[in-house]
Chain A
Amino acid sequence: MAKSICTALREGALEGELAPALTIKDSIASPFGLQVFDHVLSQLFSSILAGKSPSQGLILVSFSRSPSFYLELLKNKGISVASSDKRIQILDCYNDPLGWKDQLVEISSTVTVFREVKHMDKLFNSIIELGRGLVGGGKIRFSISIDSVDEMLRWASVSSVARLLSNLRSHEQISSIFWLLHSDLHKARVTAVLEYLSSMVASLEPSHQLANGQRGDLENFALIEHNSKNGKFHVRFKKRNGRVRVMSEEVHMEQSGINFTPLSSEGAINQGLVPKVQFNLQLSEKERIDKANVVLPFEHQGDNGKPLQIYDGRRSLVDSKQERAVAVEKEESDSQRGEIIYYRDSDDEMPDSDEDPDDDLDI
């Protein structure tokens, strides 16, 4: 399913449509956002190089990591940047975002330094210019990846960042765009805005939720350790027909990089929706025993005090009932405070008779 994200980004936008946009969202509980970003970046770039995508180039806007890191990363993945010089350009907003330094040593021809991060419209223009320089003008498309939107939100307001992203999405030369967001650095509204602007939201969550105060427990160390290397990867796709596709995978950090595997334990989430059956027709063992012990109220008590032997498999039920009835009578007569003396209307009358005493009324 990380594959489907990469496929969607690779395929890009159809004519007249907004470019697909991916938000990669992580938090302190599951901080693998940067690794996922690197993974998506390298996948997208290799498909651009291989010519599998309508996009002809990639612009990387790096805020939180140095451009040399990315050049190294791509080299380690086996993608030689020197030959792919014409396919990737990095807009360096990391080294000197506010224009404090007088001179900067140029790292490589693929890197352009940008010094005015407070102005989103200038950033927009630089991105477009760089892209056009890379692929040419006209209808040729390129993709954009933004290292981390958090840094942008430091310098500029939410609405200007939103404007930048939506203008990029609606630009006719942009094929796809993706960015990283650390969701706990911002208010909920900011995350909601970025999710509103994107067509795919990939969020990372810890595989085990830990309650806040439990860090000292030995048992929890194992969980914490597990969380530091593994997590859950949920993606929500907004499809063209207006439906939302939700997918989940597990993600593992390894030396070599990041690995996505399908979810091992399924079904726990899905139980909530099935309509709950109102009648439970199966009895557990305990319930069966309890049921057997219930005294039903309207059973015949027997004539003249003798117990009616209705055998129905219950053990000594009638006896115990008889004992109880006798005990109750004794209690009543012994009580000092008050006595309830009840004279039956007629001695022939059976207790709990079904006869209606009003039956003999003539109306």
Chain B
Amino acid sequence: MAAAKTRASSFSRNLSTAAPSLGPGLKCGPNGTVLLSSGIPDLDKILGGGFSLGSLVMVMEDAEAPHHMLLLRNFMAQGLVHGQPLLYASPARDPRGFLGTLPSPAASKDDKSRGPEPDQEKGLRIAWQYKKYFGENQLNFDGQRDGKHEYSNEFNLRNPLERHFFNGQRVDCVSIQDSPDLSILQDRCTTFLSQLPRNDGSISCAGRIAIQSFCSPQCVYSNMEWEMLSFIRSLKNMVRSSNSVAIITFPPSLLSPSFCKRWQHMADTLLSVKAIQDDDKELAQLLTGYQDMIGFLNVHKVARINTQVPVILEATTFSIKLQKRRYLVLECLNQAPVDGSSGNSDGTSGSCSSSSKTGSLDF
């Protein structure tokens, strides 16, 4: 290659397209992945943007609280608002009834108390070399202010979603209670995902699959543990090679421990929800904002697609609160200042992790 400098090398970069064009509700993520929103802006932030296309999300339910339904509702509503096709399976007799409980997007941004934040950011004087790190954040805020197709919406849990969103052809509902084995659900998933093949080109739309309470005891197949596991594996493979995200919720207390572990390993992103005890004075002393909390969300695993680098979160336990009883927010746990009368403790996190009951709390 020591010829004249004007001669181009025999290697040339194949720059056919600058970036794939993405449909509504999708954005580019790290490592060449495409992300879609979970419907809960806080959860998107925690997970680094949203759920990656092609990933399998599993949520471990708590038998004592219905918080997984909140996650599912927001997830499904977000997909419908963006016009993304949806497949919903549940053990209820009539799954379509659940669609009536989906929340509608929040009316205006003035409602939320988070409005002032971007303005405050502008007031900050950031040294020039650090602006590159904040650039991404500002992009996010800008993105949220344009047009109808925002990447992620705040959902008002008090208002039901308008019917025209789910009356169309895009929503398919399956009841999994009576099927003797999983073949019906398998077929429906295959048909659904065949509409969303993954090509190297642009992605016009992505699909969402939501399976609720997968190993729920009233389902006939619920004692066929190996069959359920192979279903999950085949679903994961199908989802990986299509433009969709699947979310499965299941109550881990109803599975044998070894299968529970196997299911957890199957997940690309693993979350769990926990109930919170009412009138727990010790917990009230330990945490600020205890009164508003309705439960805890733990992030156990975040999807790693096209990368070997693990995602290490600053915190893995978040409290679920309903802001103004409408909007689902996730907050980091804040330890309350220790009451002086209870002893002269330094209030370090070490002392609090000795609490035996709430051992799963991670400060």
Residues of A within 8 A of B (CB): 157-159, 162-163, 165-167, 170, 189, 192-193, 195-197, 236, 238-239, 241-246, 270, 272-279, 281
Cross-chain pairs A/B with CB under 8 angstroms, 29 sampled = A159-B219, A162-B222, A163-B217, A170-B92, A192-B253, A192-B254, A193-B217, A196-B216, A196-B251, A196-B253, A238-B64, A238-B275, A239-B278, A242-B65, A242-B66, A242-B275, A242-B276, A242-B295, A245-B278, A272-B355, A272-B357, A273-B282, A273-B283, A275-B342, A277-B342, A277-B344, A278-B348, A278-B351, A279-B344
Of chain B, the residue at the smallest CB distance from A198 is: B63
Give every chain A residue within 8 A of B344 (Cβ-Cβ): 277, 279, 281
Of chain A, the residue at the smallest CB distance from B252 is: A192
Whether the Cβ atoms of A272 and B356 lie closer than 8 Å is yes
A162-B218, A238-B275 known; 9 other A-B pairs, CB under 8 Å?
Answer: A158-B223, A189-B254, A193-B254, A196-B253, A244-B276, A273-B358, A278-B346, A278-B351, A281-B344
- Give chain A nearest CB distance to B80 CB in angstroms: 21
Of chain B, the residue at the smallest CB distance from A164 is: B218
Of chain A, the residue at the smallest CB distance from B273 is: A242
Which of A193, A238, A242, A279 is most buried by chain B, counting CB atoms within 10 A of its CB? Answer: A242
Which of A159, A162, A276 is most buried by chain B, counting CB atoms within 10 A of its CB? Answer: A159
How far, in whole Å, are A273 and B220 apart by their CA atoms in the complex? 41
How far, in whole Å, are A130 and B344 apart by their CA atoms in the complex? 65
Whether the Cβ atoms of A277 and B218 lie closer than 8 Å is no
Of chain A, the residue at the smallest CB distance from B223 is: A159
Of chain B, the residue at the smallest CB distance from A163 is: B218
Choose from A195, A276, A281 the contact partner of B63 (Cβ within 8 Å).
Answer: A195
Give every chain A residue within 8 A of B66 (Cβ-Cβ): 242
Give every chain B residue within 8 A of A274 (Cβ-Cβ): 282, 285, 342, 355
Whether the Cβ atoms of B282 and A166 lie closer than 8 Å is no
Check if B352 is an interface residue, CB within 8 A of chain A. yes
Give every chain A residue within 8 A of B278 (Cβ-Cβ): 239, 243-246
How far, in whole Å, are A157 and B348 apart by their CA atoms in the complex? 51
How far, in whole Å, are A157 and B217 apart by their CA atoms in the complex? 10
- Give chain A nearest CB distance to B133 CB in angstroms: 36
Choose from A163, A193, A236, A276 the contact partner of B177 (Cβ within 8 Å).
Answer: A163
- Give chain A nearest CB distance to B179 CB in angstroms: 12
Whether the Cβ atoms of A158 and B217 lie closer than 8 Å is yes
Choose from A238, A241, A270, A281 the contact partner of B282 (Cβ within 8 Å).
Answer: A270
Choose from A192, A236, A276 the contact partner of B354 (Cβ within 8 Å).
Answer: A276
- Give chain B nearest CB distance to A192 CB in angstroms: 5
Check if B258 is an interface residue, CB within 8 A of chain A. no
Give every chain A residue within 8 A of B348 (Cβ-Cβ): 278
- Give chain A nearest CB distance to B210 CB in angstroms: 19
- Give chain B nearest CB distance to A137 CB in angstroms: 19
Q: Which 10 A-B pairs have CB atoms at the shortest separation, nearest pair first? A: A273-B282, A277-B343, A162-B217, A163-B218, A243-B278, A193-B217, A245-B278, A277-B345, A196-B63, A242-B65
How far, in whole Å, are A238 and B62 apart by their CA atoms in the complex? 11
- Give chain B nearest CB distance to A339 CB in angstroms: 49
How far, in whole Å, are A23 and B233 apart by their CA atoms in the complex? 35
Residue pairs across A and B with CB atoms within 8 Å: the count is: 113
Give every chain B residue within 8 A of A196 (Cβ-Cβ): 63, 216-217, 251, 253-254
Whether the Cβ atoms of B177 and A275 lie closer than 8 Å is no
Choose from A162, A197, A245 the contact partner of B279 (Cβ within 8 Å).
Answer: A245
- Give chain A nearest CB distance to B52 CB in angstroms: 29
Give every chain A residue within 8 A of B276 (Cβ-Cβ): 242-244
Give every chain A residue within 8 A of B222 (Cβ-Cβ): 159, 162
Check if B67 is an interface residue, CB within 8 A of chain A. yes
Whether the Cβ atoms of A243 and B338 lie closer than 8 Å is no
How far, in whole Å, are A270 and B282 apart by their CA atoms in the complex? 8
Give every chain A residue within 8 A of B346 (Cβ-Cβ): 278-279
Given contacts A159-B222, A273-B358, whether A278 and B345 have CB atoms under 8 Å apart is yes
Of chain B, the residue at the smallest CB distance from A199 is: B64
- Give chain B nearest CB distance to A277 CB in angstroms: 4
- Give chain B nearest CB distance to A278 CB in angstroms: 5
Of chain A, the residue at the smallest CB distance from B276 is: A243
Whether the Cβ atoms of B217 and A159 lie closer than 8 Å is yes
- Give chain A nearest CB distance to B185 CB in angstroms: 16
Give every chain B residue within 8 A of A157 (Cβ-Cβ): 223
Choose from A241, A245, A272 the contact partner of B277 (Cβ within 8 Å).
Answer: A245
Give every chain A residue within 8 A of B307 (Cβ-Cβ): none
Check if B170 is an interface residue, CB within 8 A of chain A. no
Choose from B63, B92, B254, B357 the contact partner of A273 (Cβ within 8 Å).
Answer: B357
Interface string of B149-184 (1 = CB under 8 A from A): 000000000000000000000000000010000000
Whether the Cβ atoms of A275 and B358 lie closer than 8 Å is no
Which of A166, A192, A239, A243 is most buried by chain B, counting CB atoms within 10 A of its CB? Answer: A243
Choose from B256, B275, B345 the contact partner of A279 (Cβ within 8 Å).
Answer: B345
How far, in whole Å, are A274 and B356 apart by their CA atoms in the complex? 10
Give every chain A residue within 8 A of B254 (Cβ-Cβ): 189, 192-193, 196
How far, in whole Å, are A239 and B345 apart by their CA atoms in the complex? 35
How far, in whole Å, are A181 and B119 apart by their CA atoms in the complex? 59
Whether the Cβ atoms of A243 and B65 lie closer than 8 Å is yes
Whether the Cβ atoms of B217 and A242 lie closer than 8 Å is no
Of chain B, the residue at the smallest CB distance from A274 is: B282
Q: Which of B29-76 contact A (CB under 8 A)?
A: 63-67
Whether the Cβ atoms of A244 and B345 lie closer than 8 Å is no
How far, in whole Å, are A233 and B323 apart by their CA atoms in the complex? 36
How far, in whole Å, are A245 and B351 apart by their CA atoms in the complex? 26
Choose from B217, B223, B338 the contact partner of A275 (Cβ within 8 Å).
Answer: B338
- Give chain A nearest CB distance to B353 CB in angstroms: 9
How far, in whole Å, are A193 and B92 apart by their CA atoms in the complex? 16
Whether the Cβ atoms of A244 and B277 lie closer than 8 Å is yes
Check if B286 is an interface residue, CB within 8 A of chain A. yes
Given contacts A158-B217, A196-B253, whether A277 and B351 have CB atoms under 8 Å apart is yes
How far, in whole Å, are A197 and B343 apart by their CA atoms in the complex? 43
How far, in whole Å, are A86 and B225 apart by their CA atoms in the complex? 46
Check if B294 is an interface residue, CB within 8 A of chain A. yes
Give every chain B residue within 8 A of A166 (Cβ-Cβ): 91, 217-218
Give every chain B residue within 8 A of A281 (Cβ-Cβ): 344
Give every chain A residue within 8 A of B64 (Cβ-Cβ): 236, 238, 244
Give every chain A residue within 8 A of B219 (Cβ-Cβ): 159
- Give chain A nearest CB distance to B273 CB in angstroms: 9
How far, in whole Å, are A173 and B225 apart by their CA atoms in the complex? 34
